[in-house]
Amino acid sequence: MSFFDHNTIFFSLLGYSMSYLEFFGTLAGGVAVWLSARGNIWSWSIGIVNVVLFFFLFYQIQLYPDMFLQVFFFITNLMGWWRWAHPKQGEEDKRKELRVSLTDKKTLWLLTMITASATMICGLLASSLHEMLPVLFPLPSAFPFLDSFVLAVSIAATYMMVQKKVECWLAWILADIVATGLYFTKGIMLVGIEYMVFCIIASIGFWKWNQEAKQYAS
């Protein structure tokens, strides 16, 4: 049995069978989000481990939009790592990294409209994947529109996080709430619990980044 097979069990606890894939993917994701809330640049490198493992996990449980989201996350983890480490002149914080800032209202409205449109388009595509590509996707997508909503909001949140914008945490809270319900429904309990914790961490991250942004604005 393969490490990347969701049916390869690492251990069982209280009747729940935990795969290597779910355990280590969840662990890496938890560490990455915790570091992000603290504004630590190493969150991006650990996040790469998380998205690679979750790519294989979500494929096997038919959360296809979430699977494709991991490809986006892989690319943006590399971009975020570079962006935070190489701020433009005038964007530096005291660590010589990209400083926290607020998103302007025009950009927020534009991201909202794009996110809504992307949810509908991706949901329609996800609903038909098993018909268009039956060899790659033999089973129909589970919850295509809700899963696509998580995908679209997560992309918007990641875009803002790469730019170190405070509002990224509000988007993460919204995505994490919906994702928590999906993961519990699909039976990956540890991932569901982790995303519940992510909601708390995201709230802390929003408070921390907002306080830091106020310092720069004053």
Across the chain, which has 218 residues, the per-10-residue mean pLDDT values are 85 87 93 91 94 93 88 92 86 80 94 96 92 89 92 94 94 96 91 92 94 79
Query: Within 13 A of 4's CA, how many CA atoms are on the CB side?
Result: 10
**What pTM was estimated for this model as a whole?**
0.82
Nearest Cα to 145, choosing from 126, 128, 164, 169? Answer: 126
Provide the sign of the torsion angle of the four alpha carbons 95, 171, 176, 114, taken in this order. Answer: negative
CA 99 – CA 15 distance, rounded (Å): 46
Nearest Cα to 149, choosing from 176, 184, 183, 109? Answer: 176
pLDDT for the residue 63: 86
Instruction: For residue 136, give both structure tokens.
Output: 């790659």
pLDDT for the residue 218: 60
pLDDT for the residue 1: 57
Nearest Cα to 56, choosing from 46, 42, 70? Answer: 70
Write the CB contacts of 212 (distance below 8 Å, at least 6 apart in sequence).
39, 99, 100
CA 80 – CA 205 distance, rounded (Å): 17
Residue with tokens 């989000």: 33
CB 39 within 8 A of CB 79: no
Query: What's the DSSP call for residue 40?
Result: -
pLDDT for the residue 42: 93
pLDDT for the residue 89: 79
Give the chain's radius of gyration (CA, Å): 18
Strand partners, 92: 98
